[in-house]
Structure 1
Amino acid sequence: MPFSPSKPIDASFRRFGVASTLDPDGEARFVRVVKRKGDADADFEGFSVRKQGTVYEIRAAEFAGFGKGAILTVGSDRLVVKSKPESLDSHGLVLLLDVQNA
């Protein structure tokens, strides 16, 4: 059986992910997200800046069709995706969502 890079990622999201909803007022796609440390590095024209905020990991397949401005509910928190998601791995299987309260 050939190795599939998505299998360990799927297992991690099943174990550590939190049940959430994308687009709760429309399509209501149920997803799992993993919260990361609130600070992240952002690069601007050769300068690295530490920015504060809330970031979540999500499987790219679950975020397909969504982008900046998407609404995500995690527990009782209603969040909006602030910027284009960043890919976290060489296969493009996991995205990093930078969010703020909606």
Structure 2
Amino acid sequence: MPDQRVRMLLSVQRALVGATSPALYGVCADLSDEARITLTFYVAPDTTPDERDDLSVVGTEVIADFADDFTLEEHILVVADISQRLGTVGFWVYLQRGFRTDA
């Protein structure tokens, strides 16, 4: 699945264009052997409903790039303490400057 993984990462990066805001700290993407794409969004506590909607659109755009047998799982994690390292779930696709990861 290496080609599919590259395709997924590029798809996520494309979908993020115009969808990022200062409230989005980072995005991880993973692709399981069962054709499940997992997107993990790390956001600020004051993320607005519109910003959350933008993240949902990112997921929709990503899954639309793949065949019907792929599934999408999305997680929005609120980061209350920005001094803590962000957990890595798959591969980092986006990371705001100044944040640290556990990778």
- Structure with the larger RCO, 1 or 2 (CA within 8 Å, 6+ apart): 2
- TM-score, length-normalised on structure 1? 0.26
Which has the greater radius of gyration?
Answer: 1
Higher share of residues assigned helix: 2
Q: Which has the higher strand share?
A: 1
